[in-house]
Amino acid sequence: METARNNLRVDGARLWSTLMETAAFGATPAGGINRLTLSPADGRVRDWFRAACEAAGLTVGTDSLGTQFALRPGRDSTRPPVATGSHLDTQPTGGRFDGILGTLAGLEVVRTLNDAGIETEAPILLVNWTNEEGSRYAPATMASAAHVGTFTAEDILARTDADGVSVGQALASLGIVATEPTGSRAIGAFVELHIEQGPILEAEAKTVGVVEGGQGILWFDGTITGFESHAGTTPMPRRRDAVLGLAELALAVERIALAHGPSAVGTLGEAVIGAPSRNVVPGRVRFTLDIRDPRAATLDAIEADVRAALADIAARRQLTATLDLVWRQEPVPFDPALVALVEREAEALGLAHRRMVSGASHDACNLALKVPTAMIFVPCKDGISHNEAESATPSDCTAGADVLLQTLLTLANRPALPLRD
């Protein structure tokens, strides 16, 4: 059995074909995917996923937030399943691999085990988490966060998008009916495969990233309010221009992030002018701010510096400003034993690898709060993600899926999983 396990590999051509097949759901002319969570395109790929899982012999359930759970039985049904998966939703100009690779690689692992006639002691669970991206609904990774109790399902169901459509309404519009409450599905351990979404692995010619944890994240909604006035008759010194205030803030965020070290980043990702007109000095602008760092104390320090900078800008320019924290995710370490297992499996497969911290948030970061968790990264071209140009090679995707396969087999056949209290 051990020799057969060591020789077992996924079908890389089948995995790649599956990736390309699902890329048709929400495909964009530029070669990417626009598949916002709970959109019609997301509904179509969910239907495809259910049918593919059922064809592979899995039993599929859906929780109250639309997360799909596909279970492959084990010899011992009393053991909590070893879980893998990611997400199938994308950014408005997303790529074909972000999240999708991890979900479909999990499906390929199941197909490989089926082809080889291999049973595992513990069941294996494949998960498609709802709204990982956070591009339609905030916060990101909200379904996995609700699964571990960070939010209630009722809270998430009431969240609305920019058009005022709630999560609950979007689920109903797709005909998604829950078969189980959020948080009721047992998970013994969780391993997620993902593209790196950064340039390190490619630059160092490494095939596998062994992820030790995820950095902390702060999300803010803000407003800057000045005074609307005529663009032709209002002298520059008398203007209370909200956009100029935002421009100063953007440069301040850059300066502050650089001052706090190489790992700190800050991004003003959205800016919306209230009642815009080409010949009116902008009187109000809404914006979002994203701050990240692996150290909680640094997050606190950056927030304090940004708030001080915004107050100074507002005072000098006779503006008023608000900055509201809408989400905080603390830096999350992954399970050391599980991280070491991923590293050993990569070594056994002869794959060049390195340890690293994830700069992006993932559903695994939420699962790590409750169960032993690890992540596997593979390179993406030029480190590009959240972009239609996002790309990965078939060989790297296959290598990552092979590490996932071996890791899941080891976990599912252990005498006992390292469960936490």
Q: Domain count of the chain?
A: 2
Q: Are residues 252 and 355 in the same domain?
A: no
Among 160, 169, 158, 180, CA closest to 67:
180
Q: Average of pLDDT values for 61-85?
A: 97
Measured distance CA(418)–CA(391) in Å, rounded: 35
Tell me: do 235 and 340 sit in the same domain. Answer: no
> Where residue 254 sits, what CATH number does that domain have?
3.30.70.360
Arithmetic mean of pLDDT, 84-109: 98
49 assigned to some structural domain: yes
Question: Which of 329, 344, 371 finishes a domain?
Answer: 329
What is the reported pLDDT for 30? 96
Q: Tell me the DSSP string of 356-405.
A: EEESS--HHHHHTTTS-EEEEEE--GGG--SSTT----HHHHHHHHHHHH
Contacts of 115 (CB under 8 A, 6+ apart): 11
Say whether pLDDT at 130 is over 70: yes
The per-residue pLDDT for range 223-244, each reduced to its tens digit, is 999 999 999 999 999 999 999 9
Residue 421 belongs to a domain:
no
* Residue-averaged pLDDT of the chain: 96
**CATH number of the domain within which 50 lies:** 3.40.630.10
* Residue ranges at the known binding site for Zn(2+): 87, 98, 133, 194, 386
pLDDT at position 251 over 90: yes
pLDDT higher than 70, residue 277: yes
From first CA to last CA, the distance across the chain in angstroms is 32
Within a domain: 375: yes
Where a domain ends, among 329, 354, 374? 329
Model confidence at 418: pLDDT above 70: no
Q: Is residue 264 part of a domain?
A: yes
Q: CA 135, CA 147: separation in Å to the nearest integer?
A: 20
Residue numbering of the annotated binding site: 87, 98, 133, 194, 386
Report, as an integer, the average pLDDT of 359-374: 95
Clarify whether residues 52 and 103 are in a common domain. yes
What does each C-alpha distance from 421 to 196, 244, 254 come to in angstroms? 31, 52, 42
* 206 and 223 share one domain: no
* Residue-level pLDDT at 415: 83
Cα 142 from chain centroid (whole Å): 10
Last residue of a domain, one of 329, 355, 370: 329
107 and 51, same domain (yes or no): yes
Q: Give the residue-averaged pLDDT of 111-129.
A: 98
Cα 399 to Cα 316: distance, rounded to the nearest angstrom: 55
Q: Which domain covers residue 100, as residue numbers?
A: 2-215+331-412
Residue 234 lies in a domain: yes
Distances (CA, A) of 151 to 85, 89, 143: 21, 20, 9
On whether both 120 and 158 belong to a single domain, the answer is yes
pTM over 0.85: yes
Residue 307 and residue 206 share a domain:
no
Asked whether residue 68 falls in the same domain as residue 211, the answer is yes
- Do 99 and 115 belong to one domain? yes
In a domain, 174, yes or no: yes
pLDDT higher than 60, residue 37: yes
Residues 240 and 293 in one domain: yes
* Residues 45, 193 share a domain: yes
Residue 231 lies in a domain: yes
Would the pLDDT of 419 be above 60? no
24 and 164 share one domain: yes
Residue-wise pLDDT tens digits, 286-309: 999 999 999 999 999 999 999 999
pLDDT, one tens digit per residue, over 168-222 is 999 999 999 999 999 999 999 999 999 999 999 999 999 999 999 999 999 999 9
324-352 per-position pLDDT tens digit: 999 898 999 999 999 999 999 999 999 99
CB 229 within 8 A of CB 237: no
